[in-house]
A = this chain, B = another copy of it.
């Protein structure tokens, strides 16, 4: 290992990403750029308005995403990743890469045991 990893720091990152819909929200914003509330909602089948609002607010509180309200009728609210939020991308990529290999590993285990 490059150096000793500190558990507290790891958990700081983990606490940001933990939440049933947070990774999905982040990936949608990273992949598709700025999105309106209902645009996000439609792209996440199964999420309720309450949960989407809650998860967005939590990410906003951590300065991971930005929320911009346009004073129009009907209301328009746009969400986007902040520069700081983009710094999470290496973590998401590392997880994605691992997830891809994890699928293969599980298949291998099943072949061995099954």
**Which residue in B5, B87, B89, B93 is a CB contact (below 8 Å) of A31?**
B5
A100 to chain B: which residues have CB within 8 Å? Answer: 9
Is A14 on the interface with B (CB-CB < 8 A)? yes
Q: Are B9 and A24 in contact (CB under 8 A)?
A: no
Determine which of B12, B96, B102 lies in contact with A102 in the assembled complex, contact meaning CB atoms within 8 Å.
Answer: B12
Tell me if A72 counts as interface (CB < 8 A to partner B). no
| CA gap between A9 and B97 in the complex, in Å | 8
Q: Which residue of B lies closest to A1 (CB)?
A: B30
A49 within 8 A of B: no
- Note all chain B residues with C-beta closer than 8 A to A109: 63
Are A99 and B9 neighbours in the complex by a CB distance under 8 Å?
yes
Q: Does A11 contact B (CB under 8 A)?
A: yes
- The B-contacting residues of A in range 76-95, CB under 8 angstroms, are 84, 87-95
